[in-house]
Structure 1
Amino acid sequence: MNLYQPSAAPTEHTVLSLMACVFAVFLVTGAALPALPLYIHDSLGFSTFTVGLVSGAQFTASLLCRLWSGTISDRRGPKFAVTAGLMMAMLAGLLYLGSLMAIGRAGLAIAILLVGRVLLGGAESFIMIGAQSWCLSLSGPSKVGRMIAWIGTAMFVALALGAPLGSVLFKNFGFASIGLATLLGSAATLLLVSPIPATNPAPQSRKATGQVLKAVWIPGVAMAFSSLGYGIMTAFAVLLFVQRGWQPAWLSFTAFAVSLMAARVLFGPLPDRLGGARTAAIFIAIHSAGLALIWLSPEAWLAFVGSAMAGFGYALVYPGFGMEAMARAPAQARGLAMGVYTAFIDLALGIFTPLLGLVANVLGLDMIFLIAALLALCAVPIAMWLRTHPTQVPEIVG
């Protein structure tokens, strides 16, 4: 059986449109991050706990929707999933604006805002999984790694640009501008995606989830180990650099993100050429070396180099192990497989990043960068196992 049965060759317009779709939803997600705490705390008068609750609701919803969005993408088609996600994002923008109308009743305003964040989290999941499944359904096996890398690159670029955009909008136009940007950006992207031909969904079984989990859990566990460094960089890099007096501290994550995007642009086709597991193993080593260099660095410039190395190395781990997950999953359950695979990352970041924060309280911030580097290396033997064991594609039965 041919694992990939493309209905048509992916055109440049199709890929760019889907990248724009992912870019749009993560741009408005990033734009809300600096504005939400100020709006909730200063305008509505709630505590920092409420800030964390409302902000975190989006990411919790995104995780909970992973399997659902993958199943919908497979049963109804990826275009349906992406369209549903964009409509959810539009509704989230409307609810952002609705919370402003209830600002005199703070409890009602925060409840409306919370529902909006939940919807945006679901929108993220539907759009990301749908876009990846859509690209994979139009591509052949020679372009799987490239497609996964391109969609992921759109997400990282959007998150990098979203925060400064949100700060400017909120400072000059208030929270209403965030709601309008979310609403209008999603609506414009829906118009962009509408002309793209839909792909036919494959017949699906109620037993698909268990069979897909069995097929992709090994690449998923490897990706979970590899993702801890990303979680550490996003949560603790700036704190470490400030603690050591290395300025500008923000450059730590910027170097990570820029080198990640550069690696994906320059070396995106590499997993398709070398194989997913082999590529992942090579880039994990670079990623771990970068994290270890941050831990070891006596001077700022060396730590910034370590940040760039960590980002460069992390760039092709996700598409590398993603290729292995797709190769082991049934062809008719690509969306569900991507949802399950990505959920391993969410679980790792949600559980181990706070735990490593507790470790930092005891051992110091620098030590958790070494720990993350060592844990990432645990994925290398898994990658070698994946490389040496032949792919066995299961069929959905039942």
Structure 2
Amino acid sequence: MHYDPAMIVHVTARGGLLPIMLAIASGMLAMGMALPALPLEFQSRFASGTTLIGVVMGIQSAATLLTRPWAGRMADRRGGRDTLLAGLVCTAGSGMAYSLALLPVLSPATQQAVIVAGRLLMGLGEGLMVTGGGVWAVIIAGRARAGAAMSWVGFAMFAGLGMGAAAGDVIEAHAGFFTLCLVAIALPTGGALLTVSQPPSPPQHDGSHAGARWKDLIGHIWVWGLTLALSAIGFAAISSFLVIFYAAEGWHAGGWALAAFGVGHMLARIVGTRHVDRHDVRPMVAIIMLTEAVGLAMIWLAPGPLGAAMGSFLGGLGYSLTYPLLAGPVLRQVPARFSGSAIGLFDVFFDIAAGSGAVFSGLLAGVAGPRSPFALAMVAALAGVAIMAVVPRPQRAGAE
């Protein structure tokens, strides 16, 4: 079947991207619900400090990092649909692990270990969902519109993440953690059923070609991946410690402030997606990373909860388009049959930044206070602006 890329990208409700977006959103809703709930659960139930919370929240990214080679090869050989489906199953398993941790027969140490297992499953699921969904979307939209296709996938991710954070805050407060876990199981299960109902996406190659080696791809990817990583440190600080920052200041509605990040992210995707498929992405990346830095500075210096929420919104607005903008040069410089491997390697930079950013933010918060992670992330975003000022123009696409 032939798909018109422009129609699919700009009118997604009538194109093939909508089921992919809905399936990914279901998994990210479950992931987002845990973001405000788990740090507070560790504080209230286990009296954990910020360092341990940072490790627990960051371990998901470590699992995602280890998943990337497998997810990329699976997407190239099995197709994006099957890879996305596997990720949704793992995500549902994560919610099940969180619910098992509530069993009173388990010791506190065992309960914490089960929650960590849930974070590992969520990391595995995230890697498979993002890589599989991204490859599937690019196949449907076409490589000429790869950035826009990835942008809509990211829209679904952060729409789910933002709405999940707000929903998790409300469910935790009014119905408890167990109800939250049940919803976190049901959502990706529904997404998996939707994914199964779709026709399978074709594999990028049938195995007759050797798989791409990362050392052969890294030269095309590292500068764009490094810039993505610097931007992702802000995401790590906000997703892992904004709620803790609100609690430390005695402010309420930290989950809603986290949701403001998702709202800013979605708004930027809606307005800016049409502009991401450009050859020279450097000026636009510099502008949006400067916007992210301003938002992080607002959180760092916020006199009250409204100022921090506005900073979170601005951070999401700035962070939003870094991924699709930077993914464009990556995908245009590798053969189509290795798109999954290229996306997997590109995403590794995000994983390292998100995981290490959460850990270092926890260590820094324990030493310098709960505002300090946002100052660190602001400096990282400014470093990304500097890279875009000195990096050469992207090379033209290589052989298909």
Q: CA deviation at 1:121?
A: 2.1
Out of 363, 372, 375, the residue aligned to residue 377 of structure 2 is 372
Between 197-206 and 89-98, the greater mean CA deviation after superposition = 89-98
Q: How does 1:193-272 map to 2 (within 5 A)?
A: 193-201=195-203, 202=205, 203=207, 204-237=209-242, 253-272=258-277
Which letter does structure 2 place at the counterpart of 1:323?
A: G
Larger radius of gyration: 1
Checking the alignment, whether the CA contact within 8 Å between 2:163 and 2:262 is kept in structure 1 is: no
CA displacement, residues 14-38 of structure 1 (integer Å, 9 cap, x when unaligned): 2111111111111112223455567
Match of 1:104 in 2: 105
Q: Deviations over 1:263-309 (max 9, x none)?
A: 11122111125743332122123223344455567788766554443
User: How far apart in 1 are the matches of 2:168 and 2:255?
Assistant: 17
Aligned with 1:388: secondary structure? Answer: coil
Deviates more, 1:137-146 or 1:113-122: 113-122
- State whether residues 326 and 334 of structure 1, in contact with CA within 8 Å, keep that contact through their aligned partners in structure 2: yes
Where 2:202 maps in the other structure, the secondary structure is coil
Give 1:326's aligned residue: 331
> CA offset at residue 140 of structure 1?
2.3
| Aligned equivalent of 1:31 | 33
1:139 Cα offset (Å): 1.5
> Corresponding residue for 1:48?
48
Question: Whole-Å Cα distance in 2 between the matches of residues 191 and 370 of structure 1?
Answer: 42
What is the rounded CA distance, in whole Å, between the counterparts of 1:96 and 1:245 in structure 2? 27
- Map of 1:68 onto structure 2: 70
Instruction: Report the more deviating stretch, 87-96 or 333-342.
Output: 87-96
One-letter identity of the residue aligned with 1:346: D
% identical aligned pairs: 30
Change (3 A) 1:253 1:393: same
How far does the alpha carbon of each residue in 1:50-88 deviate from its partner, in whole angstroms, 9 at most, with x for none?
Answer: 877665543432222122211211121111101212222
Decide whether aligned partners of structure 1 residues 274 and 334 sit closer, same or farther in structure 2, where only a CA change above 3 A counts.
closer
Question: What residue is the counterpart of 2:187 in the other structure?
Answer: 185
Cα–Cα, structure 1 residues 85 and 299, in superposed 2: closer, same or farther, change >3 Å? closer
Matches of 1:391 and 1:198, distance apart in 2: 31
Q: Distance in 2 between matches of 1:296 and 1:114?
A: 33
Quick check: 199-208 or 338-347, which moved more?
199-208
Does the C-alpha gap of structure 1 residues 359 and 389 become closer, same or farther in structure 2, counting only changes over 3 Å? same
Tell me the equivalent position of 1:150.
152
Q: Does 221-230 or 367-376 show the bigger shift?
A: 367-376
**1:100-122, Cα deviation, whole Å (9 max, x unpaired):** 6x542436666555444422321
DSSP 3-state at the match of 1:153: helix
Are residues 1:78 and 2:80 paired?
yes
Aligned length: 387
Partner of 1:3: none
Q: 1:89 aligns with which of 85, 88, 91?
A: 91
Distance 2:213 2:321 in 1: 28
Gaps of 5+ in 2: 9-13
Whole-Å separation in 2 of the counterparts to 1:185 and 1:249: 23
Q: Pick closer, same or farther for the CA change 1:390–1:31 going to 2, 3 Å.
A: closer
Q: What is the one-letter code of the residue matched to 2:349?
A: F
CA deviations 1:137-165 (Å, max 9, x no partner) are 11224422222222112222222222343
TM-score, length-scaled by structure 2: 0.80
Where structure 1 has 5 or more consecutive residues not aligned to the other structure, the ranges are 1-5
Matched, 1:161 2:163: yes
Q: 1:288–1:163: structure 2 CA closer, same or farther, 3 Å change rule?
A: closer
Asked if the contact 1:256–1:312 (Cα under 8 Å) also holds between the matched residues in 2, the reply is yes
Match in the other structure for 2:351: 346
Name the aligned partner's letter for residue 24 of structure 2: V
Other structure's SS at 1:268 match: helix
Distance 1:329 1:185, change over 3 A: same
Instruction: Pick which of 260-269 and 194-203 moved more.
Output: 194-203
TM-score (norm 1): 0.80
